[in-house]
Structure 1
Amino acid sequence: MPDTVRKVFVSLLVAGTVLAGIPSRSKAADTPDAALIERGGYLATAADCVACHTKPGGKPFAGGLKIATPMGDIVSTNITPDPEHGIGAYTEEDFEKSVRHGIRKDGSYLYPAMPYVSYSGLTDGDVKALYAWFMHAVKPVAETPPQTSLSFPASVRTAMAGWNMLANHNQAETGDSASFDKMRRGRYLANALEHCGTCHTPRNFILSEKQDQYLGGGPLDGWYAPNITSSKTSGIGDWSEDDLVRYLQAGAVSGRSQAAGPMAEAVEHSTSHLTDADLHALAAYILQVSPYDEDAAHKPRDSFGEATVQPDIRSGDLTRIDDVTAFKGGAVYGANCAACHGDDGAGARNKYVPSLFANSVVGASRPDNLIMTVLYGVHRTVGKTEAFMPGFDGGSDVQRLNDGEVADVVNYVMAQYGSGNPHVTADQVKTFHKK
């Protein structure tokens, strides 16, 4: 063998021997920095991705949750890193297009039940961190949820291209979001990650958020996400920063409000896991949002009512009352609510059961959330603390109330302890039942 050929051969042999011990594309090389993955997990929690992409009793992020809309149910997708059933085949660019622009890998459009309008404000660095976490920390699930099937014209996904041009999108933030000052960080959390406006901002005829009524309140699958602007009469302008932080941490502030429905889920899965610094930033920003004053509200909704005084009926003159309709709600209350909330509506001494006065649900100008609470109850777990109230709808394990009885007790509670009798009817209650 010529000397030159021998040297080349030996060089290739040595190179081959060395390279044989180094995979051409090792998993270690593919795995991002642990700190980036950890950051992505925190961001996914702040964005509350699990809430929409996990069906009741389902595996995390495997999709299948039905989100009710006027055009039908939108079924959330599998966003685990399974390459066939989830997003495992997505590149970082594919992921970014979905999250910030509502466009899937196959080029089809997402429906804005996925809050990409808000997520469009995410920084490039945070999108990268989210991608790293979903691809390397989430367990893949080989399940394909049912396809979304909406009525025409919403069934034509290409129509979303026009909607996207008309809808208000956030401008993408720049820089390192972790280094933002308090107010900028709070705005970023509220508008992008926590996407507060998605629920708390009313929408126009094309279902885009009304920016002139930002955080002014809006309906949400039977519930009503209330006005959380700085309005002293309609919003939470009478709350302190610490009040709001406590609410976001625990889901309840005595004499203020208690989280139920979608907000209870947001507290349980998202806001209760944020750092104190982020909670204070978020609270500080929300409390300075321009007030949106509603005509129907004349004082803070948590300032209504007081404990009722129970007279001693063994003394004094008795007056005959032939119209007993006024007592129907009181009778329903006495039989089903008084055991926990008290005959006087003051709740439990330890505040586990809230009072019905100084209660923003009862003091609201709308009865929506009280109706939903009576029908479906409250179930919220934060840390080791569980808040539970049974529902009284047709599937109740405690006592099933018909629509007329629900209307009666809602009217009674709001008249006795809150903003006044909203004159709810059985037919109105019927519209709040989940399909």
Structure 2
Amino acid sequence: MPDVTRKILWSVLAAGTALTCLSPLSARADEQPSADLLARGEYIATAGDCVACHTAPGGRPFAGGLRISTPMGDVITTNITPDPEHGIGRYTEEDFEKSLRHGIRRDGSRLYPAMPYVSYSGMTDGDVQALYAWFMHDVKPVAESPPVTELNFPASLRITMAAWNLVAGAVPPETGDSATFDKLRRGKYLANALAHCSTCHTPRNMMLSEKEDSYLAGAPLLGWYAPNITSSKTAGIGNWSEDNLVQYLQTGHVDGLSQAAGPMGEAVEHSTSHLTDADLHALAAYILQVPAKDDAVEHSPREQVGKAVDTPDIRTGVLTRIDSLDEMDGAHIYDGNCAACHGSDGAGTSDHYAPSLFHNSVVGSARPDNLIMAILSGVDRTTGTLHVHMPGFDGNSDVQRLSDAEIASLVNYVTATFGSGDHGVTAEQVGKMRAQLPKTP
């Protein structure tokens, strides 16, 4: 596919806009809903992870302003608080439904599918009504408007989305009360409609619609790689137990398996860690029975790769200043920036706060993407009372910036020493991924 065409299609998909929701049910915005309906609406909003995209770092909840870089320009998410001038306060429930499930704004223009209406189309009427009630009555209005998204032509023409919707398809709407679904049906509903797992984890075709025959088989995502989460025992998570996956969704960490960072870390922090145990088990049970899809790149279980490194003390007693070297190799960079937490042997801390680098699905992956992005952007995840933090080395935190060449050397050293081997990552490759880090206005 020509590069220009790829950029156009990618930007159409990546560009986000106003999230609105729901169907012409019964409630009106000026009627006080019951406490049970509001509680249900809040839970639905949490399961759908609305706050992650519509809240800028340090910004007010749902007021928008998150800036996402695309090849066709920066996308800035919108205010979806009930403020009548700056948010969605004038939306009727019918307006809300058209936006949420069909991607059509109150003014009739089309939304870009970064607002995952293709998935939200599967929501039940009852959950749509609850979500609308909560947004209109319990979310605090914010009287401010983020900058307007201005993309380059032809991505700036929202009407193009009408044609895209014809080929993209949508999740068929569920019927009945979603709270009464049996375990697997509930898990399917959570995965496909609310949590929209396939939005990130399913690869896309030339038109950037999801490949139905590769459901949850893994896909690139803004520099990261949303991994294969089918039941494949070599490429996916077929070796995980239901309890393993529940723990991961609750905490973002499972010893000897994986840790959540980037977009998945946000999903855990803002969404899945707040779901009920019953819903987490339903979601895990459904995902673990998704038919296995093997991978042309991953040939062995990512989480089983590597071992501790035996590093005998062979120091000569001669002090070498590594800051005087013209160019440090990966081992020196690791010793100076990583070994204090992850250990010279890669075993991490005894309490697993700093995870082991072997038996780690990120380091054991045949794709170095997520390791590069984790080093660049760091890890910042809070679940319950536990805050997990690793500083990023992109220069935007309080630690020293590592150059593209240094990060490339570090990644190659870490994967060669503790994981899947030296992947020959280059400075140019790191630079392209650095450019995809999120920005704020």
The normalised TM-score by structure 1 is 0.89
Assess if the C-alpha contact under 8 Å between 2:328 and 2:406 holds in 1. no
Relative to structure 1, the CA distance from residue 28 to residue 69 in structure 2 (aligned partners, 3 Å threshold; closer, same or farther) is closer
Q: Deviations over 1:371-390 (max 9, x none)?
A: 11111111101111010111
Q: 2:351 & 2:29 partners in 1: Cα distance?
A: 52
Give the CA deviation at 1:29: 7.6
Q: 1:325 & 1:234 partners in 2: Cα distance?
A: 40
Give the aligned partner of residue 81 of structure 1.
82
Give the CA deviation at 1:182: 0.2
Give the aligned partner of residue 176 of structure 2.
175
Relative to structure 1, the CA distance from residue 314 to residue 406 in structure 2 (aligned partners, 3 Å threshold; closer, same or farther) is closer
Assess if the C-alpha contact under 8 Å between 1:120 and 1:171 holds in 2. yes
Identical residues among aligned pairs (%): 69
Number of corresponding residues: 401
Assess if the C-alpha contact under 8 Å between 1:74 and 1:113 holds in 2. no
- Amino acid aligned to 2:65: G
Give the aligned partner of residue 150 of structure 2.
149
Q: 1:300 & 1:391 partners in 2: Cα distance?
A: 27
Equivalences for 1:160-309 in 2 at 5 Å? 160-309=161-310
Paired residue secondary structure (1:63): coil
Paired residue secondary structure (1:30): coil
Structure 1 residue 110 corresponds to structure 2 residue 101: no
Q: Which moved more, 1:67-76 or 1:274-283?
A: 67-76
Give the aligned partner of residue 399 of structure 2.
398
Q: 1:228 & 1:430 partners in 2: Cα distance?
A: 28
Give the CA deviation at 1:69: 3.0
Structure 2 residues without counterparts, runs of 5 or longer: 1-27, 317-324
Q: 1:271 & 1:37 partners in 2: Cα distance?
A: 19
Structure 1 residue 129 corresponds to structure 2 residue 127: no
Q: Which moved more, 1:392-401 or 1:103-112?
A: 392-401
Assess if the C-alpha contact under 8 Å between 2:29 and 2:92 holds in 1. no
Give the aligned partner of residue 421 of structure 2.
420
Relative to structure 1, the CA distance from residue 290 to residue 326 in structure 2 (aligned partners, 3 Å threshold; closer, same or farther) is farther
Q: CA RMSD in A?
A: 1.8
- Amino acid aligned to 1:394: G
Assess if the C-alpha contact under 8 Å between 2:29 and 2:93 holds in 1. no
Q: Which moved more, 1:392-401 or 1:269-278?
A: 392-401
Assess if the C-alpha contact under 8 Å between 1:62 and 1:80 holds in 2. yes
The normalised TM-score by structure 2 is 0.88
Assess if the C-alpha contact under 8 Å between 1:202 and 1:209 holds in 2. yes
Give the CA deviation at 1:311: 2.6
Assess if the C-alpha contact under 8 Å between 2:308 and 2:358 holds in 1. yes
Q: Which structure has more RCO (C-alpha within 8 Å, separation ≥ 6)?
A: 2
Q: 1:338 & 1:199 partners in 2: Cα distance?
A: 32
User: Larger Cα Rg: Structure 1 or Structure 2?
Assistant: 1
Relative to structure 1, the CA distance from residue 325 to residue 420 in structure 2 (aligned partners, 3 Å threshold; closer, same or farther) is farther
Relative to structure 1, the CA distance from residue 198 to residue 29 in structure 2 (aligned partners, 3 Å threshold; closer, same or farther) is closer
Give the CA deviation at 1:307: 0.3
Give the CA deviation at 1:395: 2.7
Structure 1 residues without counterparts, runs of 5 or longer: 1-26, 316-323
Give the aligned partner of residue 44 of structure 1.
45
Q: Deviations over 1:346-404 (max 9, x none)?
A: 00011111000000000111111111111111110111101011111223422221111
